[in-house]
Structure formats: C-alpha cells, structure tokens
Amino acid sequence: MALVKYGGGIIQMSGSVAGNTHARNRYGNYIRAKTKPINHNTARQIQVRSTIADLTTRWAQTLSDAQRVAWQLYADSVNMKNRLGEVVKLSGFNHYIRSNAIIASKGPWIVDDGPVVFELPEQDPTFAITASEATQNITLSFDDGMDWANEDPGWLFMFQGSPQNPQRNFFAGPWRYLSRLVGIEGGGVIQPHVAPAVFVMSEGQRIWCYARIMRKDGRLSEAFRADTFCTA
C-alpha cells in the first residue's frame, strides 16, 4: 500500500483505476492493489438482495405518487456525504431503500410515507461498548433519553466488526448485525444492553461496533462508532 499526496489538478480520488484502488483513511490518502470481492452467496447476502429487490418492487408498484413525491422532497432537503467527503443529494428512491432495507430485513416493518421532518436523526455521542471473552457478550451503553427511545417504534440498530489485533487503529469492516432495540413511548428502554457477540472474541483484541438510529417516520441517522479492548 502506497501513501499519496495529491496536487495540481487532482485534489482527492476514490475508487479503482487500472488495477489500483484509491482511498482515504484517518492517516491520509493511499493506493492499494485492486481486489475482486468473492461472492460467497451466503444466507445473509441472499437475504439482503431479496429485501432490496422486494423494496424496489414495492417502490414502483405499491407506493402512491404522493408517497414517492414525499420521499423526494425529503431527499432534496437532506445533505449526505460521498466517499470524498463532498456534500451530495440522494434520490427519494435511494432514501426509501436506505431506510427500509435495515428494518425490513430485521422485522415486519416498512415505512412507506416519506418523512416530513427534513433532517437526519442526531447521532448518540455517548454510545460506548465493553466486551468479555468469558461471556462472549458485548455490553452497549447509550443515551436512553434520546427521542428514538421514547417513540413507538423508534430503533437503535447495532453492528459488530470482526475482532482485530490490539495495535490496529483503523477498521472498515467486515461488519455483522449484532442487535436492535425498539423504542417505547413514555420511556422504558433498558440500558445498558447486553448482546451475544457474532464474532468470537479473545482477551486483548480490539472490538469495534457501530450503530444507527431510526426514527418512527423512517429517517435513518449516519453511523456512529465505539471501540474497546476485550477483557478476560
């Protein structure tokens, strides 16, 4: 892997060109050899593809024109960032799939009406985790006073990354779904939340988790992370 400093006509670059993949992490820009992902066709992959296919059909054949317009109005009003950190706008269809794919694959929920609040849900800056080799559990703490926890339903979706050596300071995946919490109107969500790890953990390994908040109206937050070192 080679580090790169751009100048002249190129300020930033992301993606693959002629066998090289250009990317950026917290330490700067770099180039690595392009690798072709292996399609294991696992049960999880099949489920995700099926969910997206079903939602695509639902968008085209079930949603009314007014519902599609509402999602587009939301999309036109919400700023997102691409891999270069630039502000971009997604389409209404993109937001519909982005929001519903995560809940449709984990429960009998689909949000067809477009949001009328034109902003992403806030992230939780208090999100933190601990991990134990003995129990193979991850304990997740969060702010149970946030709006999602007092909605019926609001959601907190949590994902675990594969354990890494302790000296590693950057992690980009793979991730697996870990657990979810559903909001309760009037409060009552239990925290901290204990979830069985989806990857086997050993003492000293570095563990990453990320979470997303989804509001009752279908708005999905950006991901926010926490990490810890696995204890005995």
Residue 29 has pLDDT above 70, yes or no: no
- Where do the structural domains in the chain lie, given as residue ranges? 2-33, 43-104, 128-229
Overall average pLDDT of the 185-201 stretch: 91
The CATH code of domain 128-229 reads: 2.60.40.10
* Report field, pTM of the whole predicted structure over 0.85: no
Are 139 and 125 in contact by the 8 Å Cβ rule? The answer is no
Nearest to 178 by CA among 200, 196, 202: 196
**Sign (positive/negative) of CA torsion 206, 103, 127, 141?**
negative
Q: Which residue has the tokens 């793979």?
A: 174
Residue 35's pLDDT is: 63
Higher pLDDT, 72 or 38: 72
Residue (of 224, 221, 226) closest to 98 by Cα position? 221
DSSP 162: P
Task: Give the pLDDT score at 86.
Answer: 75
Read off the pLDDT band of 50 (50, 70, 90): confident
Decide if pLDDT at 210 tops 80: yes
Count other Cβ atoms within 10 Å, centred on residue 229. Answer: 12
pLDDT digits (tens, 9 = 90+) for 142-171: 999 999 999 988 999 999 999 999 998 888
Q: What percent of the chain has pLDDT over 70?
A: 81
Least confident of 48-52, 89-93, 126-130: 48-52
- Kindly report, residue by residue over 113-128, the tens digit of the pLDDT: 999 999 999 999 999 9
Q: Is 218 left (phi over 0), alpha (psi -120 to 50) or beta?
A: left
Q: Decide the pairing of beta strands 20-25 and 2-4.
A: unpaired
3-state secondary structure of 57: helix
224, 154, 208: which is closest to 182 by C-alpha?
A: 154
pLDDT average, residue stretch 2-19: 60
pLDDT of residue 4: 54
Residue 186: which pLDDT band, with cuts at 50, 70 and 90? confident
Helical pair 65-77 and 92-104, crossing angle rounded to 10 deg: 100
CA-CA distance, 86 to 78, in Å (whole number)? 13
The per-residue pLDDT for 103 is 85
DSSP-derived secondary structure for 89-153? ---HHHHHHHHHHHHHTTSS----SPPSS-SPPPP-TT-EEEEETTTTEEEEE--TTSGGGGSTT
